[in-house]
Structure 1
Amino acid sequence: MSRFIYFFVFLSVFFACSSETDRIQNGENALVEVKGSVLNKQEVLNSMPKGLSASDSIQFVDSYVKTWIGTELLYDQALRNVPNLPEIDKLAEQYRKQLIIFEYQKQLITERLEQQISETEMENFYEMYADKFKLNSAIIKGLFLKVPEDAPQIEDVKKWCRTTDAQSIENIEKYSLKNAIIYEYFMDKWVSFSDVMDNIPYTVADETSFLRNNKILEVQDNGYWYLLKISDYMGKGSLEPFDFAKTQIQEILINRKKKDFFKEIEKEMYNDALRKDQIQIYNWNQESSKEASSDTITTKP
């Protein structure tokens, strides 16, 4: 049996077995074992990118399993040969603490610090430093669709995109539910022109000229239609609208405030722990230091 056929059969069994939740829960989804370490099917499935073809899925599983086996063998060999494992364990524990603290700090910023920054404060900052908020690249309002070229009513969709009145928008939204691969509506907010164009196989040599002269872009490529409607735009060098700059302003204000914010949090936690007798401070004063020094034996030549 050829290698390709072998892996195709293997992958078919792989997917079939991994869909049985009861077997997964019973530990029957093992895929490969190396010296007691087990790789299960669900782990591979969770790591597999969506939308892969059958042949790409086979290659992914093959590569993933080989990499996992190699890592486990190397890890086992390292465990038996690296002398300073206790020091590594200590460093790993320190890193784990730092990582958990970092994640908790992000949570605190979201739950508390962001709430302390008002819309008025951001608007005042925007007005004070307006000359700093200049667009590095163009931004647009509009909508974008990617649909298969054999999808129904393509000409109608093009007409709706050109019109974009209330009825046309409703038609586009209903149509997109069944037919669109991508549908993005941004008539009511500014988005980066280059970010939108990343989804379209079309090169814009001069974005200022393009945006000045085009409100509709229709591209057919590799089995798909790409339809972009531009209802408004602002070019590079223009003053950023407040709504577009707001995220950046919030980040600036957070960075300015977070040092004092975390100091206050630490103070709150410390005082709370003292009240609850969760901190025991043992004597280590100058006298203790002197006693420790006096116990030291010195010799003279």
Structure 2
Amino acid sequence: MYSKQHAFPFLAVCITFLLFASCNRNDANQNALARVGKNYLYLEDVAPLITEGMSKTDSVSFVTSYINNWASDQLLLSKSKINLPEDRLKTFDALVEEYRTDLYTRAYKEALIAQGADSLISTAQLEAFYEKEKENFKLKERIARLRFIELPQNFLNKDEVSSRLRRFKKDDVKWLDSIGVQFKKLNFNDSIWVRSSRIFEEIPPITFENQDRYLKKSQFFELEDSLGVYLVKIEEVKQLNDVAPFSFITPTIKQVLLSRRKINYLRKLETEIIDEAIKDKEFEVFTDEK
């Protein structure tokens, strides 16, 4: 079924095509727009593709083009079945059936998982897994907790902004927030671990080559380039090959645990499905007994 918003422009297009086609058609497929052999293209196949903004002229042009493309595909398919070698056709048919099976079963498995698999993972479970596997969570790059502000060049109140960002007491945070609209960029959440590669993107004067100079615990510095002035306070740094902090690696742990839970749930379902089919005599394996 197509929506009401498509109905009127599409109806006019359909009437145009059906009146034209009816002169040369004596079959029961009254809603058909075209036929190739025993295959028909119907109104309801094309209706969802007509958008609300199309004029009647554009719609007619679109439908005409769609019919021609559909006919071309159908004719080529028919020719391929006649002219391709039988062994290739069997191979293609097997691939199509395999894809069809995979498409249906994958969708059904996802629906079963969404319906029945538990997606809640407690902090205790995350922490237990982290403690057990922490040696497998070595960092592949440096990470840091930091706060920073990017100011426009020649910003008049730079010294006070710098002083308050460094001190960062409650009153300082409130004051900085109040004028934050004047900053080009800011990050005050220094409890979040940030990858060095992301730092290079946000603060271009810090690069892979000079990171040893700047990415140090408790360091405060000011950098400048053609884009602006960067005020940066580093709270903490973890080095390459250090064990990743729990808060940094938690999303990864959660995905690992959810993935394992889904796999185990599917294995259990598959076992139950086979057992039920055997019990109901819907499935059996034939063996040669000699």
Bigger radius of gyration: 2
1:82 aligns with 77
2:139 counterpart SS class? coil
Question: How big is the alpha-carbon RMSD for the aligned residues of Structure 1 and Structure 2?
Answer: 4.7
2:124 aligns with 120
Q: 1:130 to 1:29 in 2, by over 3 A?
A: same
Spell out, residue by residue over 1:123-143, the C-alpha distance to the aligned partner (whole angstroms, 9 max, x if none).
222222332222222111122
Question: Matches of residues 289-300 of structure 1 in structure 2 within 5 Å?
Answer: none
Q: In the alignment, is residue 254 of structure 1 matched against residue 258 of structure 2?
A: yes
AA aligned to 1:242 is F
Q: 1:198 to 1:94 in 2, by over 3 A?
A: farther
AA aligned to 1:218 is L
For structure 2, list consecutive stretches of 5 or more residues without a partner in the other structure: 9-50, 82-91
Spell out, residue by residue over 1:125-183, the C-alpha distance to the aligned partner (whole angstroms, 9 max, x if none).
2222332222222111122444554777455433433332222222233333x344543
Q: Are the counterparts in 2 of residues 162 and 216 from structure 1 also a CA contact under 8 Å?
A: no
In 1, Cα distance between the equivalents of 2:6 and 2:172? Answer: 48
1:221 counterpart SS class? coil
Match of 1:238 among 226, 237, 242: 242
Q: CA deviation at 1:205?
A: 0.9
In 2, Cα distance between the equivalents of 1:183 and 1:25? Answer: 50
For structure 1, list consecutive stretches of 5 or more residues without a partner in the other structure: 1-22, 39-68, 275-279, 287-301
Q: 1:90 to 1:80 in 2, by over 3 A?
A: farther
Q: 1:284 to 1:211 in 2, by over 3 A?
A: closer
Q: CA deviation at 1:120?
A: 1.9
Match of 1:168 among 165, 172, 183: 172
Q: Are the counterparts in 1 of residues 113 and 265 from structure 2 also a CA contact under 8 Å?
A: no
Q: CA deviation at 1:257?
A: 2.8
Q: 1:217 to 1:102 in 2, by over 3 A?
A: farther
1:239 counterpart SS class? coil
Equivalenced residue count is: 225
1:218 aligns with 223
Q: Are the counterparts in 2 of residues 201 and 219 from structure 1 also a CA contact under 8 Å?
A: no
Overall identity of the aligned pairs, in %: 16
Q: TM-score, normalised on structure 1?
A: 0.54
1:126 counterpart SS class? helix
Q: 1:284 to 1:180 in 2, by over 3 A?
A: same
AA aligned to 1:123 is E
Match of 1:185 among 188, 200, 210: 188
Q: 1:79 to 1:165 in 2, by over 3 A?
A: farther
In 2, Cα distance between the equivalents of 1:189 and 1:166? Answer: 18
Q: CA deviation at 1:74?
A: 7.2
In 2, Cα distance between the equivalents of 1:234 and 1:206? Answer: 16
AA aligned to 1:81 is L
Q: 1:149 to 1:259 in 2, by over 3 A?
A: same
Q: Are the counterparts in 2 of residues 138 and 236 from structure 1 also a CA contact under 8 Å?
A: yes
In 1, Cα distance between the equivalents of 2:124 and 2:240? Answer: 27
Q: Are the counterparts in 1 of residues 143 and 196 from structure 2 also a CA contact under 8 Å?
A: yes
Match of 1:130 among 109, 131, 134: 134
1:299 aligns with none
Match of 1:97 among 95, 104, 115: 104
Q: Are the counterparts in 1 of residues 117 and 262 from structure 2 also a CA contact under 8 Å?
A: no
Q: 1:78 to 1:179 in 2, by over 3 A?
A: farther
Q: Are the counterparts in 1 of residues 141 and 240 from structure 2 also a CA contact under 8 Å?
A: yes
Q: CA deviation at 1:29?
A: 2.3
Q: CA deviation at 1:232?
A: 1.7
Q: Are the counterparts in 1 of residues 143 and 193 from structure 2 also a CA contact under 8 Å?
A: yes
Match of 1:198 among 196, 201, 216: 201
In 1, Cα distance between the equivalents of 2:6 and 2:169? Answer: 52
1:188 counterpart SS class? coil
Q: 1:129 to 1:231 in 2, by over 3 A?
A: same
Q: CA deviation at 1:36?
A: 1.8
Q: 1:98 to 1:270 in 2, by over 3 A?
A: closer
In 1, Cα distance between the equivalents of 2:272 and 2:285? Answer: 26
1:36 aligns with 63
